[in-house]
Structure 1
Amino acid sequence: MEDVYAVLNKKAALDVTSQQSVSVTKVLDPEIDLGTLLCFDSNDFDTQQLRSNQEAYLTNETRNNVQLLINKLFELPLKNEDGYMYVDLPEPRYNLPREKPLPTPKPLTKWQKFAIEKGIKKTPKPKATWDEILQKWIPAYGYKKAAADKEKDWILEVPGNAADPNVDLFAQKREAKKERVAKNEYQRLRNIAASRKIKVPAVGLPPLEGTLHSNQLKTAVDVAKISTASVGKFQPKLSKEVISTKKNIPGLKKEKIPAKSMQEEKSSSLQILESINNKKPKFNLEKAANKAIHAEEVERAREKKEGGGKKKGGRSRSKGSFKRPTANTGKRLGKQKGGRKRR
């Protein structure tokens, strides 16, 4: 029995020594930021242990720093809610850098700016409203809404100040609705263009087919000026004329390259030579294989043509060896009924 107790005590002692303590002591206390769960250890490494067993030493140091961070977390006041225990982390002291910049906010549309200025808040629209005239619930959209409008407005009163009492008020109402829908659609497209920074004409109509843009007119003026024999050198200029700075106007002469010194010319030539030498020739394996196959096919076709196209091992026949049909051995058909056969 003594041997059994000795073995159990030895095993218990080994278990105690294998379990590391939760209390960690260091020369310099690490700096801990609980808001971001960071631990900065400014202690020096033990170079001897680091060289002898690097993996085990770094693992032990990491474990100790994590243990210190967990000890600090357990010092925070616990809170209980619905049977769950939690702690509130303090405000972080370090701002962690982002991998990508902050996303830029989308520009507000014209309606959004107007709603902010007027304090208009978006409220969900009801799907059905109560109509006092029909005494029933009418949907906000759909075929039932249109049927209810026809049922409600089956008669329209002609206003007393109407210029023409014989005007079709129903058609006038339909046209007004179409104009409202078109105006809303036009405003929606303008908002999309403004959010995407697309330039739209100030007038609601697009330019005609024959009209040119202002940039095209400026280019045409510049081309017309340099169309003289002196390439526009002696062309008179207007008092408030803006001189074009474009270099790619058709007809302009290229600027002459200024003269270089011998050293500059030598260095530029050496750079060109070096760039040519550095270029490695590209070998296209597929193209080379196709070229070799094509050459073999051409050679095979040439040999076949020179050989006369005769099959090897075949039996040669002369012209007279073929049997020809003999005459006066067939039967002549009589007259057929039904007319001549068309081919």
Structure 2
Amino acid sequence: MTSSRFRNILNTAKESPGDAVTFLTITTIVVVTLLDMFDVLSLGQEFLSAAAIVVLSAFLVTLLASKKAAVEQKGALQNVVTDLGAIKQDIEIRGTGAHVIEIPREEIGRRLDELLNSANSWHFRGGLGGWQRSTALPALASVMNQDISYVMHILNPANEDLCHRYANYRASAGQRTGTTDPQSVRDELLALLYAAAWYQQRTRVKPDISFLSNYSPLRYDLSNAGLIVTVPDMQERAIYAPAGGWYCTSVRDELEQAGKALPAVVLPSGDDMFPRNWRDVRAQHVMDALEAVRVRPSRISDQPSLPLLADWAESQNLDFEKIAQLPFKGRSN
């Protein structure tokens, strides 16, 4: 459609006498604009708007010098204005107003910080939640004047097969040592659960946690300001979608609807399990809290809840000294 608009402009210019300069000007602007649209060149919106004005001005001069009837001149000018306006709108749709844009890895951290700084709610669906423990939860916990809804969909640490498969995936994706064996995957997930329970007890963060039955390479971080989609490979780019757009709205709805049927985690409460200062957390606190965690089959099921720690995640199989080092790993204050 855009190419047909360009052809309309060119045909109109060629029909006007004595317009060699104008025709060359139009052709140059068209070529440069096409190069920008196909990412051969990178031009700003201001340049493209200025180019449109140049085209209009040049063509207007040609029309004034033409011997065509006034009615034909007016009609031709109106067509040019219409086509250029449509082209400008097409360019804007591909710019800052887009509902989904791809961002380089260098921008991921800044974009996530922007989402956190304005967040009054948070959704996370992903793997081990290391960034949730080190950065997201501490930042959300700093909000003092309102409750912060924190919805999290993570792998079930008591699902041995799932932890094995996710560990194998991380190993094949070239992840760092320490999170590529199933026991470490299990322990980091258990640490994430303790961290969520601690923030529930000591801050205004209100966790709502569900267990996934399968893993995905995609990780979703969603706030009221927008969405970031990443993968475990730190060298890869990410997807950013601002709030209010179709994609961000649809992902939010997907997470909310999916959570209704997923197994739901019931976190414990009690001062004895959650020291006021996170630096005072010890293995006994973590063990007591995790042994008190229950899992409901789903939020819409009447079946009774069951203990989280079972099978290969039984207390006797866990190193709570190791797990106790993980809930606040990377937190600076």
Q: TM-score range by the shorter chain?
A: under 0.3
Which protein has greater RCO, CA pairs closer than 8 Å, 6+ apart? 2
Q: TM-score, normalised by structure 1?
A: 0.21
Query: More strand by proportion, 1 or 2?
Result: 2
Q: TM-score, normalised by structure 2?
A: 0.22
Query: More helix by proportion, 1 or 2?
Result: 2
* Larger radius of gyration between Structure 1 and Structure 2: 1
